[in-house]
Amino acid sequence: MAYGGGTWLTQNKVLPGTYVNFVSAAAAYVNIADRGYACMGFELDWGPVGDIFTVENSDFQTNSMKIFGYDYTNKKLDALRDIFQNAKTVYCYRLNGNGAVKASNDLAEAKYPGTRGNDIRIVIDNNPDGESKFDVSTYLDNNLMDIQTVKLITELKENDYVHWKKSGTLEVTPGKPLANGTNGNKVDGLAHQTFLEKSEKYRFNSIGAAVEDETTKKLYIEHTKRMRDEVGIKYQCVLFDIAADYEGVINVANECIGEEVNKASAVYWVVGANAGCAINKSLTNKKYDGSFNIKADYTQTELTKGMEAGKFMFHQVDDEIVVLSDINSFTSWDIYKNEDFYRNQVVRIVDQIAMDIAALFNKRYLGKTRNSNSGRVALWTDITAHHQELERIEAIEDFNPKEVTVREGADKVSVLVEDFVKPVAVMEKLYMVVEVR
C-alpha cells in the first residue's frame, strides 16, 4: 500500500500520509568580527613580488628569515617588528618589487629577487659515506639553511631560499655565492597606487604609508574616503603629518630621529596598534614599545594645539613614550557629526557595527529571507542581539532594543533599519573637588 510523505510548502497533498518540515527555532545570530588586521607596503630586500602576501604574527616571529630574509632582531626588520607589536595579521606588499632581479650562479637561483639573495652561498662537500655522493648546503650569511645528500644535481629539491638549475654539475666547492641580485625600481606613486588597488580584495582594520611627500599621502586619503564612503569598507588610514580632517585618517605628528631613519616611521607602530586595539579599549596612554627613536619633547601648549588640530601625538611621561590621546584628524565638527567622531574608539565601534551588520545581512538574509514581517523581525532580533553583545563587553551602553526599527524600504526588496547606539569611551580627564573641613 502506498502512503505519501516528505516535506510540504502548501497543504495540497493528495495521498494520505505524514508530511513534516524541519525548521530551526528562531535564534539570534551574534558574530563580532575579530580585529588585528593591518595592511601595508614595505621596501624589502627579500620576499614575494607583484602581489600582497599574508603574514601571521606567529610566523613573523618564528620564520622571519624565510619570509623577509633576516632574523627577527635584525635592524632591517624594525618597521615590521613595530607593526607586529600589536597586529595579529599583516597583509604585506613589496613596494620595491618592480624591476627586482634574482641573484644566481651556475647551480642555483634565489627564490626571490632582491639584494638579500647575494648573501646566499652554496657549499658542496663529499659525503663521508662515499658512494660518489655530495652534501649540498645552502647558507644565508653564516647560517646553514638547508643540506641535502645527492649524487646528481637533478636530485636536489627546492628549499626556502633557492631554485636549483638542473643543468649544473656538482663538484666540491668551499662556497659558491649567488650574485647580481638587485632590489626593484625606486618606490614612486605608481607603486603605492598599485598596492592600494590590490588591497581592495582584503578586509583589514588599518592601512598606512610611512611617506613624507604630500602627493602620496593625498592618494591614500582619497582612496580611504572612497572605500569608506562609497564602497562601504570601513578601516582607518595612518599617515604622517597631514591635516586630512577626516575620521578615517589618523594624522601622526611625531617624527622619528636617527641616522638614515625615515621621519615617518612611527606610522608602522600606529598602523598595528590601531588594528589590534579592541573595540572596548583605547590607545590613550599606551606605551610605545617599538624600535624607533620618537621625538616627543613637546610643551603643554604644543600638545594642546596638536590635539585641537587633530594630531595623534606621543609624549614623554617619566622615562616612557606614550600616546597622548587616541584621536584622528577630524576637526570640522557640526550638528550632524560632532566631536565624538574625532575619537578613534568611537570610530572603531561604529565601523565594527557597520561591517558586522553588513556581513550578517549578506550571510543570512541577502537573497535568502523573504521581506515579510517575520523576516524583518528575524533581522531585528539579530541586530539587537549583536548590540547587546557590544553592551556586554562595554563597547556601547544604555542600549534599548525598542529604539531599533526594521521596516520595508522604498521597494519590495529593500529593508530600512533605524538604529541608535551610545559608544563608550575611556576616561581621559579627571575633574575633582576636594572640600576640606
Rounded CA separation 329/331 (Å): 6
User: Considering only CA atoms, which of 422, 282, 417 is closest in space to residue 348?
Assistant: 282
| Averaged pLDDT for residues 250-263 | 94
Whether 425 and 345 have beta carbons less than 8 Å apart is answered as: yes
User: Considering only CA atoms, which of 80, 76, 110, 122 is closest in space to residue 182?
Assistant: 110
Q: Is it the case that residue 12 has pLDDT exceeding 70?
A: no
- DSSP string over 85-129: TT-SEEEEEETT-TT-B--B-SSEEESS-SGGGGGEEEEEEE-TT
pLDDT computed for residue 163 by the predictor: 96
To which residue does cell 638587485 refer? 182
50: left (phi over 0), alpha (psi -120 to 50) or beta: left
Express each pLDDT in 352-369 by its tens digit: 999 999 999 999 999 999
pLDDT computed for residue 401 by the predictor: 94
Fold match, 37-97+186-323 / 108-177: no
Rounded CA separation 127/134 (Å): 5
User: Considering only CA atoms, which of 318, 317, 342, 322 is closest in space to residue 332?
Assistant: 342
Return the number of other C-beta atoms located less than 10 Å from residue 372's C-beta.
10
CATH number of 108-177: 2.60.40.4290
Sheet arrangement for strand 134-140: 143-150, 134-140, 120-126, 173-177
Positive or negative, the CA dihedral 356, 362, 364, 369 is positive
Which residue type is seen at 286?
Answer: K
Three-state secondary structure call for residue 336: coil
Whether 415 and 409 have beta carbons less than 8 Å apart is answered as: yes
Name residue 147's beta-bridge partners. 137
Q: Is it the case that residue 27 has pLDDT exceeding 90?
A: no
pLDDT computed for residue 28 by the predictor: 67
| Averaged pLDDT for residues 224-241 | 95
What Rg, from alpha-carbon coordinates, does the chain have? 29
Whether 182 and 113 have beta carbons less than 8 Å apart is answered as: yes
Express each pLDDT in 84-135 by its tens digit: 999 999 999 999 999 999 999 999 999 999 999 999 999 999 998 877 899 9
| Averaged pLDDT for residues 411-419 | 91
pLDDT computed for residue 432 by the predictor: 87
pTM of the model: 0.91
Contacts of 63 (CB under 8 A, 6+ apart): none
Contacts of 374 (CB under 8 A, 6+ apart): none
pLDDT computed for residue 430 by the predictor: 82
From start to end of 17-88, where are the E strands? Answer: 17-19, 37-42, 53-56
**Angle formed by the axes of helices 214-226 and 189-199, nearest 10°:** 20
Rounded CA separation 310/351 (Å): 19
CB neighbour class for 381 (10 Å; exposed up to 12, middle 13-18, buried from 19): middle
pLDDT computed for residue 169 by the predictor: 86
Q: Is it the case that residue 168 has pLDDT exceeding 90?
A: no
Quick one: which H or E segment has residue 139?
strand 134-140
Contacts of 321 (CB under 8 A, 6+ apart): 287, 288, 294, 296, 314, 315
User: Considering only CA atoms, which of 88, 89, 85, 42 is closest in space to residue 290?
Assistant: 85
CATH number of 37-97+186-323: 3.30.1490.450
User: Considering only CA atoms, which of 292, 234, 233, 245 is closest in space to residue 267?
Assistant: 292
pLDDT band, very low/low/confident/very high, at 31 (cuts 50, 70, 90): confident
Between 418 and 2, residue with greater pLDDT: 418
Express each pLDDT in 181-218 by its tens digit: 999 889 999 999 999 999 999 999 999 999 999 999 99
Rounded CA separation 274/271 (Å): 5
- Domain locations along the chain: 37-97+186-323, 108-177
- Determine how β-strand 134-140 pairs with β-strand 120-126: antiparallel
Express each pLDDT in 307-347 by its tens digit: 999 999 999 999 999 999 999 999 999 988 899 999 999 99
Direct distance between the N- and C-terminal alpha carbons of the chain, in angstroms, rounded to an integer = 98
Rounded CA separation 165/110 (Å): 11
For 87, the grid coordinates are 597586529
DSSP state of 161: S
Q: Phi/psi of residue 126, each to 5°?
A: -70, 135
Quick one: which H or E segment has residue 306?
helix 300-308
